[in-house]
Structure 1
């Protein structure tokens, strides 16, 4: 990269990669781990950052393989994806066509909640949702909600890792209080 980019010519360069598996072959009830090699490679890049004219910024495909962006019309499978510091964790349940239908997500969340890397419910909104599912609280949600909570957690963990990698300190800020419509006038 240093041969391609001259000093002070580019403001930002983004390095994008994924090590999320293309098509993991899992049966219902299985939990599998896949190394987050994309993050490990980025840590290696940061370890020699002085050799780069511009330090590349991190970008990943989160919890998807790039070819999975094609829309499909199929009944969803109850599944949750989770990121730890070192692994992508894939927890698969039954199809929503069989058994308890969308309640099939409850045992998936309960299984995920047992892993040692599981963060607390207040780590992110996604974690809170997963903990509620694991405890059988609230509604089951749907495939979009399951993807949202997994993605929300992934963004929180990557933010934490980038903050630590770049030595950025985080100040606690007061929670946002949403104004009522008439207060905005």
Structure 2
């Protein structure tokens, strides 16, 4: 499992902490779970490796498997299990994405495909960012 820092979030928190009380707080935005740059090549022939991305306080956990020619989605229950076992999993009740991760691990959700897992990661990320912003503003 890989940890990637949420640099935009850490910078935003530092900026907000440094602002005087009477200054309007800027809005926050990031790249969600997408990479800032795109892979080069003909996308019709490129196949990604199975991965599950999960937003945590100041970073992302990324569980990856090696790309297989067939049955690549069979890796997802194990990847979900790694996220749950990491000690950073916020539970299936935190977000619909988290619910899907837990369900895939348990075999109650479909294995999905790369589109499914982008939705799962994006749903959880947006839910986490909203919760982070609410906590940062004291609401």
Contact kept, 8 Å, 1:95 with 1:104, in 2: the verdict is no
User: Which residue is equivalent to 2:50?
Assistant: 78
Gaps in structure 2 of 5+ consecutive residues:
none
1:75 shift after superposition: 2.5
Q: Which runs of 4+ in 1 moved over 6 A?
A: none
Q: As a proportion of its length, which structure holds more helix?
A: 2
TM superposition score normalised by structure 2: 0.87
User: Which residue is equivalent to 2:101?
Assistant: 130
- 2:110 pairs with one of 129, 134, 139: 139
Q: Distance in 2 between matches of 1:60 and 1:103?
A: 31
Is the aligned partner of 1:68 residue 2:50? no
**Which string of whole-angstrom CA distances, capped at 9 and with x for unpartnered residues, describes residues 99-120 of structure 1?**
x432121111111111111011
User: Which residue is equivalent to 1:38?
Assistant: 8
Residue 164 to residue 138, structure 1, CA distance change in 2 (3 Å) = closer
1:138 shift after superposition: 2.8
CA RMSD of aligned residues (A): 2.1
Q: As a proportion of its length, which structure holds more strand?
A: 1
Q: If you compute each CA radius of gyration, which structure gives the higher value, 1 or 2?
A: 1
Q: Which protein has greater RCO, CA pairs closer than 8 Å, 6+ apart?
A: 2
Q: Distance in 2 between matches of 1:96 and 1:129?
A: 23
Residue correspondences, number: 137
1:48 shift after superposition: 2.1
- 1:106 pairs with one of 77, 93, 96: 77
**Which string of whole-angstrom CA distances, capped at 9 and with x for unpartnered residues, describes residues 44-84 of structure 1?**
11112227854211100011222238882322321001111
TM superposition score normalised by structure 1: 0.67
